[in-house]
Amino acid sequence: MPRILPIPPIHPRALSGPYPGPRPKALALPIALTLTLAVPAPLAARDLPPDWAALTDAHLDIVPRTDAERTRIAAVTAPPTDFSAPWPYEDKPGGAQTVRARPTADAFSQPAANLTFAQELEFKMGNGLFTRDWVSAPASTLASDGLGPLYNARGCQACHIKDGRGHPPAGPDDTALSMFLRISIPAPAPDPADLAAIRTYIAGTHPTAPDPVYGGQLQDFALPGLPAEYRLDVSYTEFAVPLSGGEVAMLRRPTYTAADLGFGPLAPGAMLSPRVAPQMIGMGLLEAIPTADILALADPDDADGDGISGSPQIVWSRAHDRPMLGRFGLKAGTPSVLEQSADAFAGDIGISNPLHPDGWGDCSPAQTACRTARHGGDPEQAGFEIDQTALDLVTFYSRTLAVPARRDIADPQVLRGREVFHSTGCAACHRANFVTHRLTGDNPASFQLIWPYTDLLLHDMGPDLADNRPEGRANGQEWRTAPLWGIGLTQTVSGEATFLHDGRARTLLEAVLWHGGEAQASRDRVITLPPADRAALLRFLESL
């Protein structure tokens, strides 16, 4: 039988011990809530695969949890049973990092609310680098040169519009500035004689390799004297999906074409995957969720028979030289915010850095003019186009972009929609909340109760959403569960509301209706809901 535990007043920064600072007004709220608590088996008691058991968060400076803390955390993150009123602190999805929700395009661009004065300065310096437009080398501004030679954008914010989502081209006259195609080809497993490759090979990975000419992603811009690699063409075919109550939703099925190839045909068997730039908020909090808590949710063989079989992505960390849990990217192909930032600098902008030292970015050996072009590495920056200090500032900025507060959480329609979200099974993958590691020092992600609505696991989303391109342990139908916090502010921030990995969905309802695979049953329940409940579900999502 599940245990019944009362939930005492709890603040994200005070799961045990006093809250270090003025107590927020939220602590005055009465919490007379009793939840049915189903505590998962401790990881040590489970038959974990050896490669899971070896995954740790040793790269973080962690203060181990006490037994009392673990009990309180299990209680506060247990699945709820009472949907009649707002839950304690769900209005603060980023815990103590949460900021007021602004009704402007700057809603995702605010620093975390709990930064120290010195950290705010780091945030602002990182913001300056994030919004910088890079130029070609040589240039009088040595700290800003090194663009390309092939690239998708001149700066980070060109893709992550106001730190929010990108979007596919709106028409034939629009560019694909915040969207590109990843590319790879099938490859054999590493040769046992190649010791370096064997050392970094993760068992269970689908072996792939970059296109021998076009590399790992297609760049649609180039410096003068070089052709761009391609132009992205997107076309759509619309079709109707009947809903209960006589309603009809129109979905659009995309077709992607790599047109005007600048370096000849793609390799035989080339696999393309469209990617829209994701929003940036809350990344440091996602990074601070204990690996053990994520693995506790994984059920790759669907042992409990609920139709949900989330699997962890496991990738090789360049920064820490070992396997780590993948958390970032649409298929969770990157383990840390630092590596996500370094990969984007190299692949999207062509900026060398300590993790990707080549000045030519994603140019392949076959692109000789690109490889021999002038690059911007300078002795003052240790030979890189962005050095470790500047990369760390961008990483800190990316880690500490605040999550806006929830809106209208006590609205009866929002409360009903939250109940529908759980009753239709959406919360099986979009897990509501976690508590982050307790970290040493003034780390602003330390010991926060957060509400990201994701499990950070890979799930089969069915053939309709498949890109048919594996990445690491993810096959061509698997995607990481996307965090939902802030999703209701997409239009406000980015100027357009498009969703899913390729922006095909123009509304949240369309995004739900594209779900298949493990989410097919939940999607079908949404179709048959009474129209009022379906509207409530969407209203709840808009409040996130």
CB 82, CB 31: distance < 8 Å? no
Q: What residues have CB less than 8 Å from 16, skipping those under 6 apart?
A: 66, 68, 69, 72
Pairing between β-strand 231-242 and β-strand 248-259 as defined by DSSP bridges? antiparallel
How are beta strands 150-151 and 248-259 bridged, if at all?
unpaired
> Which pLDDT score, from 0 to 100, does residue 45 have?
39
Smallest CA-to-CA distance from 285 within 391, 392, 402 is with 402
Instruction: Check pLDDT > 50 for residue 448.
Output: yes
Q: What is the pLDDT of residue 11?
A: 36
DSSP state of 158: H
Average confidence score pLDDT of the chain: 89
Question: Among residues 227, 184, 209, which one has the least CA distance to residue 370?
Answer: 227
Q: What is the structure's pLDDT at 465?
A: 98
pLDDT of residue 20: 30
Amino acid at 184: S
Model confidence at 47, in pLDDT bands (50, 70, 90)? low
pLDDT above 70 for 57: yes
Whether the pLDDT of residue 90 is over 90: the answer is yes
DSSP 111-137: BPTT--HHHHHHHHHHHHHHTPPPBPS
DSSP 247-297: -EEEEEEEEEEEES-BTBPPPTT-EEEEEEPPP-TTHHHHHTS-HHHHHTT
Note the pLDDT tens digit of each residue in 507-541.
999 999 999 999 999 999 999 999 999 999 999 99
Q: What is the mean pLDDT of residues 347-368?
A: 96
How far apart CA 299 and CA 276 sit, in angstroms, is: 28
> If you search the block for the tokens 């809603």, which residue do you land on?
107
> What amino acid is encoded at 16 in this protein?
S
- Using DSSP bridges, classify how beta strands 179-186 and 271-276 pair: parallel, antiparallel or unpaired: antiparallel
- CA atoms of 134 and 367, how far apart (whole Å): 22
Distances (CA, A) of 75 to 5, 9, 68, 304: 7, 12, 11, 22
CA distance 147 to 362: 12
What is the residue whose two structure tokens read 């047109």? 259
Residue-level length of the chain: 544
pLDDT at 495 over 70: yes
pLDDT category, 48, cuts 50, 70, 90? Answer: low
Per-residue pLDDT tens digits for 212-261 = 999 999 999 999 999 999 999 999 999 999 999 999 999 999 999 999 99
CA 482 to chain centre: 6
CA angle 494, 12, 410 (to 5 degrees): 60
